Chain A
Amino acid sequence: MRSSFFSRKCILGLLAGAALAIPAMQAAAQSTYVTKGSKAASEKSCVAETSDIRRNHMDYMKHGRDEVVIDGDRTGQYSLAGCIDCHAAKDASGKYLPVDSEDQFCHSCHAYVAVNPACFQCHRTTPEKRD
């Protein structure tokens, strides 16, 4: 997940992020931060205090990924699939939009701080429906 931090773009991103992230977060707190039409839009808060999630989601997810992959413990509070299930919005025809596509949940903020999440090189970007 973090590996992409080491591309040049992302090191610049880190620098930019350090300078911009905090004001950006504050700005985002006042505006709407969930995507319209997603399940999250109707919830009172995220799986934890929203400000906490916004600041620490990457650590929670990374922590959770080791619990799941290595320890086989899937009972944790935080899961990437959970994020996507809740935060993916639908388009006019009722089809889910990928969370990392332009202006969608993950993309909007990460584009702003120029951090490129590598999650979606392996993880799906829409809620999965299985029969």
Chain B
Amino acid sequence: MLSKMYYRELYCGTPVRFWMGLALLTTFILIGLGSAYYMEHSGHWVTGMSNQVVWGLPHVFAIFLIVAASGALNVASIGSVFGGPMYKPLGRYSSLLAIGLLVGGLIVLVLDLGRPDRLIVAMTEYNFKSIFAWNVILYSGFIGIVAVYLWTMMDRSVNKLYRPLGFIAFFWRIALTTGTGSIFGFLVAREAYDAAIMAPMFVIMSFSYGLAFFIVTLIAAYLWSDRQIGELRLAKLKNLLGVFVGAVLYFTLVFNLTNLYATQHHGIERFILLDGGVYTQMFWFGQVLVGGVIPLFLIYSPAFDKSRWAIAAASIAVLIGGFFQLYVIVIGGQAYPMTVFPGKEVLESSFYDGVVSSYVPTFAEGALGVGGIAIALALVAIGARMFKVFPESLEDPEEA
């Protein structure tokens, strides 16, 4: 028998601990917003972005957060769609985190637009052939659906809608990450993209990053508020993360193997896997080693059996690796020269045809991205303080 769950607002040992945490996040948010203002005011030439690398570090952060947002809902989905009783008490927090991460990511994305003041145009003018336009609907719909989903978990009077909404939210989030992956999958002209596997790969990446985000923030919140998490519950989350990390590696393997088969993709594969300099290093050391091999070792090695520090470290490694993975996809894919003239070598061009484009991120871009993460975490902290999302205790049920 599962004992009854009591949910309680997030109160730390002393009020100072909560407010200091929030003040720290606010500092990052202000630095991020200041950076965004600086970039918008001066124009994008003050960033590392150019006419060759048009999407830079802010996009890596934004896509990372958006993809993770969808994955953060894993736990709630398992609780309601797949009926996992161990996960159900975590559903509320899972939904809150999903909303927070998505809002953080969207703010970064919007603040990097050339004309963020015209955002309203993106809501009144739709080109339904554009996956971006679809994403506007998918992202805003996600926030709305998950908010209602959260409501059905917290209010008994609407509890009968809990399961249907669980299903809707589950399908919507799959659509959302499919849409995000398709931003790249639909780019026919670029060798690094233009692959249908992008969509499912982004779905599986979202499972992995989102769960890692969930584990890290859950452990942090419970430390922050001096509450207990049972070993069994963490072990369940840990095993799930292991499966997702393996799946991301598998998709990476299939994606690259497919490219290696087609002659026209040999150039980009050589660039990413062998001689792309910083991108090659990010791929092997960042994505594969830190984001794949190390977390798998931490998760499955008997040496770290029930160590929650190993679980936290594995989750953080997944996040770092995921960030590098997106950096390689987004920026590495643009840095590699697009084949405009197949079969020809470019001897001279004033517009960087045929040469690897350089991209050096600036402080402001990074600060905007970090500000986005801080916005996500601050929203979650405030939400958890205002609503009863965290169970008072996550000790394992006695029977188990």
Contacts and interface: CB of A to CB of B under 8 A. Distances in A.
Whether A and B touch (Cβ < 8 Å) is answered with yes
Interface in B74-128: 115, 117-118, 120-121
Interface string B122-140: 0000000000000000000
Contacts of B121: 3
Given A4-B117, A6-B120, 8 more contacts: A3-B115, A3-B117, A3-B118, A3-B120, A3-B121, A6-B117, A7-B117, A118-B117
A4 B118 CA distance: 7
The binding surface of chain B is classed by DSSP as: helix
B40 to A, nearest CB: 12
Nearest to A7: B117
Interface in B11-29: none
Contacts of A4: 117
Contacts of A118: 117
Interface residues of A, number: 5
A54 B120 CA distance: 27
Nearest to A5: B120
Nearest to A10: B117
Contacts of B120: 3, 6
The binding surface of chain A is classed by DSSP as: helix
Contacts of B115: 3
Nearest to B115: A3
A47 B13 CA distance: 72
Interface in A1-20: 3-4, 6-7
Contacts of A7: 117
Interface string A110-121: 000000001000
10 contacts: A3-B115, A3-B117, A3-B118, A3-B120, A3-B121, A4-B117, A6-B117, A6-B120, A7-B117, A118-B117
Nearest to A3: B118
A118 B120 CA distance: 15
A121 to B, nearest CB: 9
A3 B117 CA distance: 6
A12 to B, nearest CB: 15
Contacts of B118: 3
Contacts of B117: 3-4, 6-7, 118
Interface in A68-108: none
A44 B59 CA distance: 55
Which among A3, A6, A7, A118 has the highest number of chain B CB atoms within 10 Å? A3
A4 B117 CA distance: 6
For the complex of A and B, 7 pairs with smallest distance between CB atoms: A3-B118, A3-B117, A6-B120, A4-B117, A7-B117, A3-B121, A3-B120
A72 B63 CA distance: 38
Interface in B227-256: none
A119 to B, nearest CB: 14
A28 to B, nearest CB: 28
Nearest to A121: B115
A3 B120 CA distance: 8
Which among B117, B118, B121 has the highest number of chain A CB atoms within 10 Å? B117
A122 to B, nearest CB: 10
A24 B345 CA distance: 65
Nearest to A118: B117
A89 B11 CA distance: 65
Nearest to A4: B117
A6 B115 CA distance: 12
Nearest to B121: A3
A98 B364 CA distance: 33
A3 B115 CA distance: 9
A75 to B, nearest CB: 26
Nearest to B120: A6
A6 B123 CA distance: 13
Nearest to B116: A3
A7 B118 CA distance: 10
A5 B32 CA distance: 25
Contacts of A6: 117, 120
A3 to B, nearest CB: 4
Contacts of A3: 115, 117-118, 120-121
A7 B116 CA distance: 11
A94 B121 CA distance: 40
A3 B121 CA distance: 8
